[in-house]
Structures are given as structure tokens and as C-alpha cells.
Amino acid sequence: MSKRIALEGSFAVSEAARMADVDVIAAYPITPQTHIIERLADYVANGELKASYIPVESEHSAMSACYGASAAGARTFTATASQGFFLMHEVLHWVSAMRQPVIMAVCNRAVAPPANIWGDYSDAMTARDTGWIQLFAANNQEVFDFVLSSFRIGEDPRVLLPVMVHLDGFSLSHVIEPVILPEQEEVNRFLPPYQHPYAIDPDNPMSYSMVMGPDIYSEIKKAQDVTLRESKEIILQAWKEFGDIFGRYYSPIESYKTEGAKTLLMSTGCLSETAKVAIDRKRDKGEDVGLIILHLWRPFPFEELYQAIKDAETLVVFDRCISLGGPGGPIISEVKSALFDKRKDIKFAGLIGGLCGRNLSVEQFEDALDKGREIAEKGSEEVFETIGIRE
């Protein structure tokens, strides 16, 4: 019997990793990820999880050790945030280009300075081009489910790519929500053992990463790009299997009350839940608004986006990250680019807020929708509008 218990996001992550029977964990503490790795250390110390727990001396080494472990054939997991995420940046590229399915939870946290510990996506957004599959969870059930399904997705022989699951620092990692945990037997049915076709083996020696030049690099990168894009099919398949076994079905873009909605708010992460309430209130007042929630960030879900907005005329996109000096928030920039050829008719408004864990209320989302619609209609001098930021 699956059980419904109260879990903060961090513990949902560690529980998923434990149920997936990870073999190697190499991690370095950083607020707000610490509870994840502390709980995992407890599991290992009490024999509830048989894994090699490597308390590395930096995040760079954390991801490096994870790469090595995965290459040697171990199911591998780590977690980090913000500064640690930045420190391991070059290794992220290594892991994905070498096609190792390392799974990582990122408790999204704002970039320093100023020194801070609270959540926004400025860490996640710098990893767009690293070649990892990337998911954003909006509640702790999704945190658990996405981390668990990441092993299935990343380790699929047609994928063999690393996966990162983003969860809002503090707002999800440290907030207790009800989470339904499956039976171990169900998890075992869902997750086959990890096998890599090119695992390091002295009986089958290979050279892993050589020096290559202008004459071949492009072909390698194109192959990597195609593989990442094609992984979407397997993500959909894996989520279908997930739903069939565990009863919860996920899709790259979740539509909330979008029927007949001419104006759509687009959001990602836990503030989407607040936005849902704002949509409820607005719809009660008879406004034709809806919400779409982005779960799959890479590979970018083009088809699902076109489908989700097919009846919409206006798209108000909320970014919990500022792209300094750029053409607006990261998400709206990509959405605009994705829709440029398909839907030249769509009117856009970009909103940035919630930085460094600043909370946004239902009212603020309602106002943001109004403001967004106005901007989309009339246009704006500004590249983006802010929500909840003192101007």
C-alpha cells in the first residue's frame, strides 16, 4: 500500500534516491540542499541504503566523482544549489557529453553577491546549454516523482544523459507538504538496473574523451543535440509508464484551467501553485484566463507548447530569474523564440519577480495578469515588467 506522509521537499528527494537504490552519492553541503544529503547520510549510516557516500571537498569534485562513478557502472546521485552549482559548471558539460546518467537535485537558489540563501532560478538558468535533461517541480509530490522518474529517463539506453530536477530552495526544499510514497516493489518494477554500454572495463579497454579538433567536433555536438532532443519521446514514455504504475501522469507542460482562455499565464516552479489560486479567482469573476506550468525545460517542449497555447492570444510569462542586460527573463526569451515562426500573432508580456525567495501573493499574481494583458495589448518601453519589486 502506498502511504501518504508529510515531507519537506529535501526529504522527498532523498527518499526517491533511496528507493531508487543509488550506488554512489558524492555531495558537498550548501544551503538549502543540506537536508537532502544529511538524510541520505543517515540512510547509509543506518544501513537503509547501501551506497558509497563520498563527502567530497567541493562541488567540482562532487560532480567529478559522480561522473567517474557513473562511468564505472554505478547509479549515481548528487544535489547542490547556486554557488555550488556554478562551481561544478564545467563538469556538467563533461557528464552530458560523455553520456553518463548522473541524477542531480538542484535546490534553486539566487546567485551571490549579495550573499543569500533563498530561492530563484538564477542558478538553473545558467545551465541551459549544458546538455542535461532538466525538470522543474512545482510541489513536493512532483519533486519525489520527478527525481524517481529521472533515473528511469536518464538511464534508458536510448537516452543515457544526465538529468537535473529543479526545486525551489526553501519554498519547496524546506516546506512540508503531503507526499504519496509508493511501495518499493512498484519502484523496482518501474526502474530496471543501470547498465551502460560503454562502462569502464579493463577487459574491454576504451579511451574516454580524446583530443578532437575542428574536423570532428561539430559532428559530435550535433549528435549530442539530436540525442537530447530525441530524449523527449522517452521522457513521455517513461512518464506514461510512471502514471500506469503510480497513478500520477505528468507532461512537459501542464495546463490548468486553460479551456477557452484567451490569456495564459505561464509559470514554473512552486509559485505556479499560488498562480493557480489567482487563476481560480479570476475565472470565478468570468475572466478567460488560464495557467500553463513548465515542467520540462530541456529538451525544450516545442510541440507541447504549441498545443498548450493553441487557443490563446496573449501570453504572460513569469520568470523567477533576471537575465542581466538581456531580452527579458530566460523563459520568456525562449518561449518567444520557440513561437516566433509558429504564432506571430501571440502578444507577450514578461514579468520578473520572486527573486531570492521573495514571495508573491495571489493578489500580486492577479494584478500581474491584469498588468500583463495591458502591456501585451499596448506594448511597453521596458524589456520586462517586474512583479513585487519596488520600483
Partner 1 sequence: MQGELIKFGKNLVAKDELLTPGHRACQGCGSGLAIRLSLKALGKDTIVGIPAGCWAGVGSMYPDTAWRIPWMQTLFENAAAQMSGIESAYRILMDKGKMPERKINCVAIAGDGATNDIGVAALSGVLERGHDILYICLDNEAYMNTGIQRSSATPYGASTTTTPAGKVSAGQATWKKNMIEVVAAHNIPYVASACPSYPFDLMNKIKKGAEIKGPAYVHVLAPCPTGWRFPPELTIEIGRLAVETGVFPIYEVENGRYKLNIDRPSLKPVEEYLKPQGRFRHLSDTDIEMIQKRVNEEYNKLKTKIACFAA
Partner 2 sequence: MAEKKTKAISELTWRDMRFGNVFTEPGSAVRYKTGDWRSQRPVVDREKCNKCGLCWLYCPDGAITPLDDGYYEPDLYFCKGCGICPQVCPKKAITMIEEEEK
Binding site for partner 1 (CB under 8 A): 23-24, 26, 50-52, 54-58, 60-61, 64-74, 76, 90-91, 94, 193, 200-202, 204-213, 216
The CB-of-384 to partner 1 minimum distance in angstroms stands at 36
Please tell me whether residue 206 binds partner 2 under the rule CB under 8 A. Answer: yes
By C-beta, is 205 or 286 nearer to partner 1? 205
By C-beta, is 64 or 268 nearer to partner 1? 64
By C-beta, is 228 or 278 nearer to partner 2? 228
Confirm if 77 and 104 have CB atoms less than 8 A apart: yes
Please tell me whether residue 159 binds partner 2 under the rule CB under 8 A. Answer: no
Q: Which residues inside 226-265 make contact with partner 2, applying CB under 8 A?
A: 226-227
Please tell me whether residue 98 binds partner 2 under the rule CB under 8 A. Answer: yes
Q: Which of 380, 384, 388, 385 is nearest to 363 (CA)?
A: 388
SS3 of 299, please?
coil
Tallying the residues shown for the chain, one arrives at 391
Q: What's at 32, amino acid-wise?
A: P
Confirm if 101 and 227 have CB atoms less than 8 A apart: no
255 binds, among partner 1, partner 2, none (CB under 5 to 8 A by kind): none
Cell 496573449 belongs to 314
61 binds, among partner 2, partner 1, none (CB under 5 to 8 A by kind): partner 1
Contact with partner 2 (CB under 8 A) among 208, 247, 311, 340: 208
# residues near partner 2 by CB under 8 A: 22
Stretch that binds partner 2, among 49-57, 111-119, 202-210, 287-295 (CB under 8 A): 202-210
Confirm if 44 and 53 have CB atoms less than 8 A apart: yes
Stretch that binds partner 2, among 80-88, 199-207, 234-242, 293-301 (CB under 8 A): 199-207
By C-beta, is 112 or 216 nearer to partner 2? 216
197 binds, among partner 1, partner 2, none (CB under 5 to 8 A by kind): partner 2
Q: What is the DSSP string of 87-139?
A: HTHHHHHHHHHTT---EEEEEE-PPSSSP-----TTTGGGGGGG--EEEE-SS
By C-beta, is 212 or 389 nearer to partner 2? 212
Alpha-carbon torsion, ordered 268, 364, 174, 69, to 10 deg: 20
286 binds, among partner 2, partner 1, none (CB under 5 to 8 A by kind): none
Contact with partner 2 (CB under 8 A) among 188, 223, 240, 374: 223
Q: What is the DSSP letter of 356?
A: G
Strand partners, 318: 351
By C-beta, is 206 or 324 nearer to partner 2? 206
Q: Estimate to the nearest angstrom the gap between the alpha carbon of 178 and the chain centroid.
A: 20
Distances in Å between the alpha carbon of 192 and those of 39, 152, 187, 238? Answer: 24, 7, 9, 12
Please tell me whether residue 211 binds partner 2 under the rule CB under 8 A. Answer: no
51 binds, among partner 2, partner 1, none (CB under 5 to 8 A by kind): partner 1
284 binds, among partner 2, partner 1, none (CB under 5 to 8 A by kind): none
Question: What is the distance between the alpha carbons of residues 384 and 381, in angstroms, rounded to a whole number?
Answer: 9
46 binds, among partner 1, partner 2, none (CB under 5 to 8 A by kind): none
The CB-of-187 to partner 1 minimum distance in angstroms stands at 16
Distances in Å between the alpha carbon of 141 and those of 5, 42, 135? Answer: 10, 22, 13
Q: What's at 360, amino acid-wise?
A: L
Query: Which three three-digit cell numbers place residue 126?
Result: 545558467
Sheet of strand 263-267, all strands in order from the earlier edge strand to the far edge: 253-256, 289-294, 263-267, 314-319, 347-353, 385-387
Q: Which residues bind partner 2 (CB under 8 A)?
A: 97-99, 197-198, 205-210, 212, 215-216, 218-220, 222-224, 226-227
